[in-house]
Amino acid sequence: MTVIGDIFLLVGAVFLCLAALGMVRMPDVFNRIQTGTKGSTLGALSVLIGVFFHHPDWWAKLVVLAVFVLVTSPVGSSIIARAALATGLRPWHQAEDEETV
């Protein structure tokens, strides 16, 4: 069981690192929000599953944490995207298309 837990912990760490890399590499705020939200949600859930395999008696706490991550991450990213749009930021592909016209 600890090998399965270690695999999930490793997969979670890889997804969290890829989310951080995506935050640096993406061209605009909307792409960064999407990359960070998806990668960090999947990475956090994988880490929680890995911790469950190492400590099965913590299942109630881990479920509460997983629900918290699944609820707050998409809501937070949606609010940030709406705020960015309200301040006048446009998505990268729209700004690029309007410059060529």
- pTM equals 0.82
Q: Is the pLDDT of residue 4 over 90?
A: yes
Burial 24-63 (b: 16+ CB within 10 A, else e): eebebbbbbbebbbbbbbbbbbbbbbbbbbeeeeeeeebe
**Amino acid (one-letter) located at 78:** S
Confidence of residue 58 (pLDDT cuts 50, 70, 90): very high
Going from N- to C-terminal start, the domains of the chain cover 2-100
pLDDT band at 98 (very low <50, low <70, confident <90, very high): low
Please report, to the nearest 10 degrees, the dihedral formed by the alpha carbons of residues 44, 47, 52, 57 taken in order: -70
Q: Are 92 and 28 in contact (CB under 8 A)?
A: yes
pLDDT for 97 equals 56
